[in-house]
């Protein structure tokens, strides 16, 4: 029997990689996409299947995590074996701007799905994965963070995800559902949203190298994160639903770096050596040397990074470092890609795009480069 999976957030970074993986494994994949005023399926266009052709295995449904009847109807129609709840307002800084919306989608959205599964009598059939997060640890109580580390959320996003974490545990305990949390640490890729820090850096520096932008404006570059590759992490999401019994797992690499280091690696990949000087809001990064031909627009002495306090958060998560031992032992998981390899992959993709734009510009066909940061 072909297994059916329903993925919320299929148009996002993780949703796109997970959909690829599930299709490879022979699943019939159903995804929920939001109505938008312009196309929002770029990350999954390469796996789109024409519904007019025989036996398509990828199906998209319009929907929203804020809409109970819509979610209930989709679950009733699809009768999924597995639900992956990846949909969310996932930007921590934005959650301070839109706290109520974030709570509705990231907290109550999870309840809506769980309750729909129960209401439809699918609680013994449908397995449920909740995209939990290292942001739950916030002001860290123990290092490294593991499954038993106490939570201390530091943003409306993290507080909403805390509700989702516990409601998932509660439905497992109350109704015997196969429901579990993946407590995933930051994971990135060339498909990462442009306003998360790694992608902001690789895209911004690639544009600067090609003369499309002049300076990267950053927030807290002392922040420490445990970064992995999204491709490695979606394998875990699937694995967590294939066990004999549901269990919550921390997924991380166990290695931590600063945002400043990520800026240095990205610049180095473009052949640019940087010198950081100044402190606090006055810190800048200046070009020390340029090698190769990836950064024709740059010369020694150019200032290509400054701090803009608008990117500081009202409450910051300064440091996160995960202990993935449990996942390694019980699920046999090892990440295949290092953060450095991931950085190279992200720069390679963003540089390709920047070069294309620069070439068009040279020939008088300037494309607007979106500078909205975040
Ligand atoms: P993205 O921001 O790339 O994707 C989020 C997805 O959710 C998009 O498909 C988005 O749709 C969709 N979405 C947003 N709001 C709604 C809504 N109201 N109803 C339905 N769908 C909605 O996130 P990631 O892929 O990076 O992350 C996936 C999940 O994992 C998220 O829940 C995130 O919070 C969580 N997480 C992510 C980590 C990471 O480092 N990436 C780490 C830990 C947890 P659209 O494309 O239309 O915007
Ligand atoms: P995070 O990711 O908040 O950890 O949440 P993000 O990449 O946004 O920030 C990481 C760290 O970098 C610092 N930072 C900046 N961040 C952004 N976005 N822009 C900047 O200019 C900037 N300068 C410094 C931040 O302050 C922070 O400390 C991500 C999301 O994917 C969540 O959905 C997920 O749950 C967690 O990772 C785990």
Q: Which of 46-55, 137-146, 298-307 has the lowest mean pLDDT?
A: 46-55
Q: How far apart, in Å, are the Cα atoms of 75 and each of 20, 86, 104, 173, 198?
A: 21, 15, 19, 22, 35
pLDDT at 65 over 80: yes
Confidence of residue 118 (pLDDT cuts 50, 70, 90): very high
- Average pLDDT of every residue of the chain: 96
Both tokens of 163, joined, read 């509700």
Both tokens of 284, joined, read 């800048």
ipTM, interface predicted TM-score of the complex: 0.99
Both tokens of 182, joined, read 């993946």
* pLDDT of the residue at 371: 63
Minimum-distance ligand 2 atom for the alpha carbon of 317: 28
Q: How far apart, in Å, are the Cα atoms of 327 and each of 19, 148, 239, 282?
A: 22, 13, 10, 42
Minimum-distance ligand 1 atom for the alpha carbon of 105: 18
> pLDDT tens, 119-128?
999 999 999 9
**Residue indicated by tokens 């609680």:** 123
pLDDT at 261 over 90: yes
Q: Which of 81-85, 176-180, 236-240, 334-338 has the lowest mean pLDDT?
A: 334-338
- From the CA of 81, how far away is ligand 2's center (Å)? 33
With beta carbons less than 8 A apart as the criterion, state whether 104 and 25 touch.
Answer: no
pLDDT at 133 over 90: yes
Neighbours of 64 (CB within 10 A): 18
- From the CA of 108, how far away is ligand 1's center (Å)? 15
Minimum-distance ligand 2 atom for the alpha carbon of 161: 35
- From the CA of 234, how far away is ligand 1's center (Å)? 13
pLDDT at 87 over 90: yes
Nearest to residue 132, comparing CAs of 115, 155, 157? 157
Domains of the chain plus CATH, in order, are 4-184 (3.40.50.720), 197-224+258-318+339-363 (3.90.25.10)
Task: Report which of residues 366 and 236 the model is more confident about.
Answer: 236
Q: Which ligand is nearest to the CA of 196?
A: 2
CA-nearest residue, atom 38 of ligand 2: 186
Q: Which ligand is nearest to the CA of 256?
A: 2
pLDDT at 370 over 80: no
- From the CA of 119, how far away is ligand 1's center (Å)? 25
Residue 310: CB partners within 8 Å, gap ≥ 6? Answer: 217, 219
Minimum-distance ligand 2 atom for the alpha carbon of 313: 26
Confidence of residue 367 (pLDDT cuts 50, 70, 90): confident
> pLDDT tens, 268-280?
999 999 999 999 9
d(CA 198, CA 193): 9
Ligand 2, CB within 6 Å, residue ranges: 90, 92-93, 133-135, 185-186, 195-197, 200, 218-221, 223, 225, 259, 311, 313, 316-317, 374
């Amino acid at each position: 029997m072909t297994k059916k999976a329903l993925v919320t957030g299929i148009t996002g970074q993780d949703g796109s990689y997970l959909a690829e993986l599930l299709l490879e494994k022979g699943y019939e994949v159903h995804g929920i996409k939001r109505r938008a005023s312009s196309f929002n399926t770029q990350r999954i266009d390469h796996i789109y299947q024409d519904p007019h052709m025989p036996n398509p295995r990828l199906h998209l449904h319009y929907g929203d995590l804020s809409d109970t009847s819509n979610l209930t109807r989709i679950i009733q129609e699809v009768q999924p074996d597995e639900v992956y709840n990846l949909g969310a307002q996932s930007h921590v800084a934005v959650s301070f701007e839109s706290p109520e919306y974030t709570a509705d989608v990231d907290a109550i959205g999870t309840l809506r799905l769980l309750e729909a599964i129960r209401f439809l009598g699918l609680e013994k059939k449908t397995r449920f994965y909740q995209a939990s997060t290292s942001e739950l640890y916030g002001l860290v109580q123990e290092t490294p963070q593991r499954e038993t580390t106490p939570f201390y959320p530091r943003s409306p996003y993290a507080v909403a995800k805390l509700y989702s974490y516990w409601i998932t545990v509660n439905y497992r305990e109350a109704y015997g559902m196969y429901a579990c949390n993946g407590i995933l640490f930051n994971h990135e890729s060339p498909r990462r949203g442009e306003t998360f820090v790694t992608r902001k850096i690789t895209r911004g520096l690639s544009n600067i190298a090609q003369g499309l932008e002049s300076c990267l404006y950053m927030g807290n570059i002392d922040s420490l994160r445990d970064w992995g590759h999204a491709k490695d992490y979606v394998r875990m999401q699937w694995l967590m639903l294939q066990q004999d019994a549901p269990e919550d797992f921390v997924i991380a690499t166990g290695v931590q770096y600063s945002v400043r280091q990520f800026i240095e690696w990205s610049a180095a990949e473009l052949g640019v050596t940087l010198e950081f000087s100044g402190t606090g809001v006055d810190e800048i990064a200046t070009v020390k040397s340029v090698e190769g031909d990836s950064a024709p627009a740059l010369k020694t002495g150019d200032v290509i990074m400054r701090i803009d306090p608008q990117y500081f958060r009202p409450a910051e998560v300064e440091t996160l470092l995960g202990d993935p031992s449990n996942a390694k032992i019980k699920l046999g998981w090892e990440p295949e890609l290092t953060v450095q390899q991931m950085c190279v992959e992200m720069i390679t993709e963003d540089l390709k795009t920047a070069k294309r734009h620069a070439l068009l510009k040279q020939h008088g066909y300037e494309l607007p480069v979106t500078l909205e940061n975040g």
